[in-house]
Structures are given as C-alpha cells and as structure tokens.
Structure 1
Amino acid sequence: MRKRKIRRIKRMIQLLIISLSLLVLVVVVGLTYMVNNMKPMVVKAVTIEAGTSTIEVDDFLLDKDRQGSFVTDLDSIDFNTPGVYEVEILVNKRNYTSELNIVDTKPPMATAVNKVVYKGITLSPTDLVTDIKDVSETKVYFTKEPNLDMLGDQEVILIVEDSYGNKTEIKSTITVAEDTEPPVFYGVEDKTVNAGGTIFYKKGVTVSDNMDTDIDFTVDSSNVNLNQVGVYTVYYIAEDKAGNKTVEPATITVVSGGIDDEKLNEKVKQVLSEITHEGMTKRDKAWEIYRWIKRHVSYTGSSDKTDWKKEAYRAIVEGMGDCFTYYAVAEALLTGAGIDNMRVTRVGGKTSHYWNLINCGDGWYHFDSCPHKDKLETFMLTDAELEEFAKKRGSYYYNYDKSLYPATP
C-alpha cells in the first residue's frame, strides 16, 4: 500500500517537471518571438545629398540580410529639394518608419568668363559667369566692385552662392577699353514730298550701338521748308554714352503737285496687305499683283508720263490710265513686295509702250500687266516668248533695245 502511494507521488512529480519544462519552453519561445519582433529593423534616418538620383531600400535596413521594400512612393519626393521626409518600409510583413534627410552641402559649379568691356558702362556679375550648375537657385555677386573707369586689365573675384548658403569663388579678368565705335543708322532714306505736305522723319528709321541698348536719335530738319519747292538736307543725329556721334544726312525734295512717297506707300501697303501674306514666294506675290492690276485698272489711253509715282497712285485710287500707268503701279507694288524690277520702254512704232522686267530670285522675266485685245497672259515671259507675242501683236509691240536690259533665262 505504501509502495503504491510512493509510485503515485513519483509519477505526479514527473508530470509536474514535464509541465514546468513545457511551460519554460513556451515562455522562452514567446519571449524570443517578442524580442525579434520588437527589435528595430530600420535605421532612424538616412542622409543624402540633394540631387542624388536614386536610393536603395538596403540603405534603410539594419540587417542587410533581410528583405524589405518601400511602402512610400519615392516618386513623390523631390530629391533636389532639401528637407526631412518620412519613409515607410515593409520588413517581415510589418511596416517600419524611417526618415530621409536630404541636405545641400555642395557649392555651385561655375565657369568664369573673361570679358572686354567699355569704359563707363554698367557691368553685371552674371556677365562674367557661365555654366552655373546647382540643384537650387543661385546668385552671383562681386567681392569688390570693379573700377570701370580705369583702362586696362583687372582681376575680378566673384561669389556664386546657392539658396542654402554654399559658395564658390571664381576669378575673372576684365579688360576696360575705350568705346570708339559710333552708332549706326538703318532706314535713313531720301524723301519726296508735295509742297505743303507732311514728312514723318523718324518713320522706318532705327539706330543701334555696339554698347548702348537704349540709344535714341534726333532729326535736324531746321533747314527744310515744306511749303517751298526745292531740295533740302536733313540730318539724323545719334550719340552714345561714350560720346561717339553719328550724323547721317538725307535729301528732302519738295515738289509742286505730284504724289509724295508717304502717300503712295500708304496705298501700296494697303493693296499688298489684301493680296499677299507671309509664306508666299516672290513669284506668288508677283502673280497676285499681276491679277490685281488686271482686275482693278481700266485702260483709258492717257497718263502723265512725267511722274510715274503720280500714275501709280492714280491707278490705285482711280483705277484708270494707259500702259505707262500699268507699268507704274506694277513698279510700286512689286517694289513694295520686295521684288526687283525695272522699266522697259518700246523703241520704234508710232506710239510708246511700257512694261516691267522682274526678278523673283530665278532670273529676269517680262511682266506686262497692260491689257490687250487678244487677252493673252503676259506674265513672266522669256525673251523668246516675248518675241512670239510681238509677232502676233505686230506694230513693233515688244521692240526694245536689248543691250540696255538683262537677258531672261
């Protein structure tokens, strides 16, 4: 009986030992699991230089043998802008948070430019620097302002600084020289005006200078009397900041009656604006001019052959005249369209005849916009084709002194 009881106690002790062992094992396993899962898997922060193109998930992992992936979309982060960005990473099916610290510690890169400048001008620091490279905005300034009134070479020290205070010092050499180049006029032309008329002297005239960008000019027309027929001289005057002066003369011819250039040119521009446009070839423009004259001018058999501009104006405004009128309005419109042209005059025969030679860039051709009873087109004719027309029309119709004019193709 006693032995049996002792055996029972022993079995109970054995079961208790096994139970305690299992409990200890469970506790150890549980604690190990908890420790492993509570252990940091990522670094607190990763610091990179602004402008870095890529970053890997391994840069955030404490244990490089583990696998991880970004939860945060890195495309949403501007790697060129310094700042602290929160980054979420998945490791062992659990999300961890770290920080991406983007800093800008690199100074800008830049190349110095040596420059010749003229005495007394204004010089910007940016004029002496090129190829600036930095991830942020930059500014350029002198450590000491150069003396632009002192002729000769000077070393100039410049600072290129970015938005985060990083600085690069570069050196340039400037050569201060005297500006001896005068301003240049464009568009100064002789003008003809009717007595009592008006001239816009500055219209179409510009002036430029090798240094001054805001240069202006004056016109001395004090010797001109627009109410008195005669020939006068006006002077276009410009002076730059260095004292270089340009005086360019132009002749003003005051005539009695007739049509002045301003008045004719206004009508020419009006017609051309209606029948031509940008992108047209010169030949296309010449054809439209030919057609316009054919449609708008009627043959009346009379003209003032002493003043071609008057007849050109008459053709546009009144729409009538003779062959001289047709030639004249063609010259005005062709010239306004930038097409080279010249007058051709018939020799021989009982009456005169006038037409044009034009060059659209591919050689000279005959251009006769005057109507004829045969209604044949006389646009862009060669010398040979013109002779065939002359045979058909007879009466020396296109007889002219070929030695005075260029040959056609």
Structure 2
Amino acid sequence: MGLLKKATGGSILSKVLLFGVLPVAVLGGGITGAVALHNNSVKAEALSIIKSEVTITYGTPLTVDLFVEPGADASRCSFASDVSVINTDDLASYELSIISNGYKTKSKLNVVDDVPPTATAVPQKVYVHQLPDPNDCVTDVSDKSAVTVQFAEGVDIGLGGPRMVDVELTDYYGNKTVIPVPFEVIDDHTAPVIEGCQDLTFIVGDTPMFRTGITVTDDYDEHPVLTIDNSQVNMEEVGTYPLIYTAVDECGNMSSVEVTVNVIEEEQAEEVAAGGGTVNYGGGGGNWHKYDNCTNADAYAAASKIYNSICKSSQSDVLRGLKIFYWVNHNIGFALHHTTHASWAAAACQAYGRRYASCYGQWAACKGLLDVAGIPNRKVWRNSGNHIWCLCYLNGGWYHCDSTQYPGAGHTFSYMMTDAEIRKAIGYHKNFNTSSLPPRATVSVQKYINVHKCTVSSGLKLVTPTPTPIPTPDPTDDPAAPTSSSATSQAASTTSASTTTSASTTTEASPTTAPATTAPAEETTAPADPTKAPDPTQKPDPTDTPAPQPDPDPDPGAGGE
C-alpha cells in the first residue's frame, strides 16, 4: 500500500477508487491507463442516453429531449446540428449530431405521417343493389397525403330499409379511418306514370311536336327519362301510325303508352276542326300563310259561330268569359312554328281554323270571342316581348286571363287573376308592361273560379248585371260583326280608338254595387258595324300587330313572339 501511495499519490488513488476502478488497473497500466478507463466510462454513460433513431409525427416541435432516453437527464444535452433549417411539417428523414455531457454522437430523425384521415359522413338515399360512388358518401376529407375511399368489405344493400354502411379512408402511408354512413335503401318496383298522351292529328308535311303536353312522374325518381318512338310515323304520307311513349326510372322500372298519329290532307283539316276535333296539336306546317289576309270581319264571323255554340246571352259576363278561355285552352294547341302574326285577325282565323297558335294567336282568338261577347279587353305584353295575354273587364274590375297551353300543365289556365296572382301563375307573367293598362282589380276571386270544370261558384257576388237578350239584327251578305244577341247587347259600352265605326248597341245598366275598379274608359277593338261591308284595303290596327323585339333570354316554350 505504501508503494501505491508513492507511485500515484493519494489523491489520484482516491479518484480512481471514486470511479470504481480497481487498484490493480493502476498497478498494471499506470496512471495513464486509469484515466483512459475513466474517460471511456464517462463517454459510454453519456452516449447511452441518446437514442440512435427518433420518429415523430409531422408538426411536432423539435426539442432535444425527444432524443434522450426516458428517465435520463437531458439538461446536459444539446443539438450540434443546426436544426433551425428543419421544418417538421415536411415528411423527411435527417441525420443529426447531438452533444451529451460534452460527447458528440449521431441520431436519425424521421418525420412521418401516422395520423389517420378524417371526414364527415353524407347520408345517402339509394335503391337496392345500387351502391353510389364511395367518394360521394363522405365530405370534408382531410389528411397530410392522398386518401383512398372505398366501402368496407362485406357491404350489402340488397334489402330495403335504413342501415349504416362503413366507408374506409386510407391515406398514402396506410393510416385508416372507418366512417359509418347512414343509408336509406329503397326497394322500388313501381314504373313511372305517363300523362297527357292522346291521339294526334297533323297535316301532311307538318313538323310535329310529340312532347308537348306530356308529363312523367315517379314515386321516387324526380327525373324519369321519357323517350318517344316515332320511327313508324311518316309525316310525308297520309295515313295512321303508332307513336309510343316510354318512361324509365332510375331503378329500370318501365311504362309505355301507345297513341295513334293521323296524318291528313290540308283539305281535311278544316273539316276536322269544324267538327270539334283538334288538328296539329303543338305543331305547324301546311299553307298557313293563307290566313295572312284575313280581315276583322273574317275573324268576327268565325268567332261568332264558336261563341254561339258555347255561350248563352243569359249567362253572366264572368261565366261567358270563363267559357271562352276554357274553349280556347282546350281546343287550340300551342305551337311556336308556322303561325301567322300578320295581324290579330289573321292569327285568330288561323287559330279558329287550324286549331293551333302561338301565345299571340291564342290571345287573338280570345280577343275575337271577347269582342263578340261584348266583354272589354286589353292586351298585356311581357316586358321581354315574348309573351302576351288578356286583361278583361269582368264583374266590375280588370283581371288577367291567359288561355295559353303550357307544356306539362295539362289544361290549367289563368282566369280573373290580380297582378299578384298572375305573377305567381303557371307560365311567363312575372314582368309585364303596366304603363298602358287601366287600374287592375286587387281583390282575389280565385276561390270562386274552377278552370278545370269551367264553373263559377254562386258565392261570387256579381256586380255586373246579367244581360237581357234582345233580338238579333238581320245579317248582311258579308257580316262584319258578331251575330249573337249578346254581342249586339254588349258590343261596346265605349268606342274603341282603333275602330273607325262603332256599332249601335244597347249598353248594360250601371252596376248597383261599386266595382272593384273604375269602369273602363276605353275598350279594345269593337266589332264593325254589321250593316257595312268590310273594307278590303283596311289595314289592321298597328297595336294589334306584334312588334318584333329581340329577347336576349327568351323563355323556353313561351310564345317566342
């Protein structure tokens, strides 16, 4: 022991003993060996607390304690590498130098995506055996990487009813999330319903509109598909042909309706119309220009025959007016093509004779009948210029009336409506020119009117007296005015500005109850004097001839006027 103290000194020995080194090591290698052993031991201990590889989730703040083993003292550890250049939002791997208790070592840093995707379920309404795209079943998908969406294994919607369907979301790194999606599975075996089909009659060479007036509905599918098979119809040859309407819904349920298409000669058309039939419903063709030269007298003569067959002079103006619009709606089909606008009289004659017209022609047909009935009426233009209808003085007030057949609306039409009501009615009435119109009625009478049954409720208080029939004047060889007794009794209470001669008539008594608006100060065209022959050179009132106005956005199926 004395030799040890001499050779090494007590202080060194005590230090060696302090670090747990056996004295024999000192004796064997001297003091240099003891120090080396000591340093190695310290280094080993310092480096042992540093992890060789660290994996963190993207976005994790980078601190040195992430690299220190749990329970070890990280206070004497620091980064030797410049970690300020590392963005942990980026997925990558880095080799870093770390100092522990003065000793440097290396460690690998992996920034990874181990977060599963997130998403929100989108409830689905589907038919049996018809799985939607799984991507449509979730929304707000969020993840660091690309996500694949698919149905979980074993999904079955072969039976109707509510259920939860699992949708799996897997990102690029294999992280997976399962989102339960509510499904309502519909077991549908009901075919769509096709309505509005009827046998059709066209003139040879016409351009038919087979789709007009046809509606298709389904118990689930909001947009069933309608196809029309006209492959057996030859519009260039007189004959009878089958036309087949077929509707299919989303489930494949199918229904069909077959109708007959009659293609006739021009000469037969007016015979069919005269017999109450409908010719060329929704189409046009043939020699339609032959009506261009029709006069007011021609129009009133044709209107008188129709009026006398549908109205009685003992009826109120409200009921007679309703019968007029009902007749036009049910007997004059809508067409955009092959219709004359040469004058109101030409358009009316074509409507009466061919039984089809644009909205201008349907207005003209109503005007002719209203004039014959002695019901004051005015013309209403839509601001865009592509639709026209009537304003009629009925029951002491001015009301909107429109007979136009709108595709898909069946035989619904507008009668005795206020401004507010006509703007909401079927068709194209929202914006119309009021500058030239008299004040309109504001009190609704719709609850008293049934346009489908052509009836007026007895609950409607009539403020216009029912006309008293008077003898019909003797007709001339070429009558220029209506021949009905009511036309004579009510032809015009005031003289139209556009008529050169007014008929001598008996006007109705003033109503005893205050009308909804003031009585009209001016009528539209009154029938000509029945004692005078029409002037063949007389030109139509320019206000009755539609002025072409380009419409940047015409309504489909409107008048196209």
The normalised TM-score by structure 2 is: 0.36
Higher relative contact order (CA 8 A, sep 6+): 2
Q: 1 or 2, which has the higher strand percentage? A: 1
The normalised TM-score by structure 1 is: 0.46
